[in-house]
Amino acid sequence: MGTAIQKFTFWLSEHPLIIGFRWSHTQSWGSTWSFLFTSITAYITLSIFLHLVLVLFRRRRPVPLGPIPAIHSLAMALISFTIFVGILFSAGAEIRDTRWFWRRSKTPLQWLLCFPLGTRPSGRVFFWSYAFYLSRFLHLFRTFFSILRRRKLSFFQLFNQSILVCMSFLWLEFSQSFQVLAILSTTLVHSVVYGYRFWTAIGLRSACFPFVVNCQILLLACNLVCHFGVLSLHFMKGGCNGIGAWVFNSVLNAAILLLFLNFYVKVHLRKRMVAVIENESTAHSCSGDSMRGIVVEAAVGVLLGQHDHKEMKGGRTFLCLPSTNRSAI
């Protein structure tokens, strides 16, 4: 057992490729500004083009994708979990090896929030930050799945995905503080969310509440608390590395948060209006006399490209809940 743990630790935090990693414009794939802007432009252009093609051909039915979305969800869940475990082990090893340098001025938690000035993008933590940056490009496929299945193109989805790619690039380019906790929380949530998507994609029962949206709210709240921590440490501990990139990151996160809250409020108002109308009409039978169908607009799925409920005709979703619990929606 001990040997297995040692091997596991070696491959995740002590391998020479991980220890010797260095973010470089000449050695790291996708590490240039031109690549960043070109890839984001290509992503937006291809999304708009795909949407216009479906509109011009007036295709009303979803394009059949077979098991591709399920395979993508499973792959993203495994990749996210691997990055989570890898950066967790690497952060622990990095704290152990460099604590002598900053232990008089910081605690390990403070180091996770606020890198010392002069930190270079090299070593274990930045290897997994680079892996996270590359994984962001795999997340972009969710947008294409959304367009093909729902024939809808969301500005919020394009903006959110593009900004997340840009932010992960800035983490590496400027050795930005806060990125370790951000990657830990994000990959943990992604591994759970994509695992849930795979669960529902293969036909298993979904949750009776907006599972993915709640996970995203939890992630946003965690990031907000960490941002306040970075700001306080920057003024109390003599400065954090990459604070300029952090300010830009904070502005983008604030924009995403405002768009998210705006969309979330609109969705819940729409749900209440539909529920009131439905209460006045004949309820749809769902799975027995004790169950009622409540018609809910499939708008939550547009949010961050997360389509976790099954489509029905007319672009709507039938969410099955007990009739006694209608007030909870």
pTM for the complete prediction?
0.78
Q: Are 158 and 47 in contact (CB under 8 A)?
A: yes
- Are the C-beta atoms of residues 260 and 220 closer than 8 Å to each other? yes
pLDDT of residue 90: 94
Low-confidence ranges of the chain (pLDDT < 70): 1-2, 100, 102, 104-105, 151, 267-269, 271-272, 274-276, 278-329
| Contacts of residue 184, Cβ cutoff 8 Å, sequence gap at least 6 | 84, 87, 88, 91
pLDDT at 306: 43
Consecutive H or E run containing 319: strand 316-322
Please give the pLDDT value at position 313.
Answer: 40
Residue 296, in any domain of the structure: no
Q: Say what the pLDDT of residue 312 is.
A: 41
| Number of domains present in the structure of the chain | 1
What's residue 100's pLDDT? 67
Residue 28 φ then ψ, to 5°? -100, 125
Residue 281 lies in a domain: no
Its domain, for residue 176, covers: 2-276
Q: Which residues contact 128 (CB under 8 A, 6 or more apart)?
A: 18, 83, 86, 87, 90, 183
Residue 159 falls inside a structural domain: yes
**pLDDT value of residue 285:** 45
pLDDT at 73: 95
pLDDT for the residue 276: 66
Q: Quick one: which of 212, 228, 167 has its CA closest to 309?
A: 212
**Residue 284: strand, helix, or coil:** strand
**Strand 316-322 to 284-285 pairing:** unpaired
Q: Is 329 a domain residue?
A: no
User: What's the pLDDT at 75?
Assistant: 96
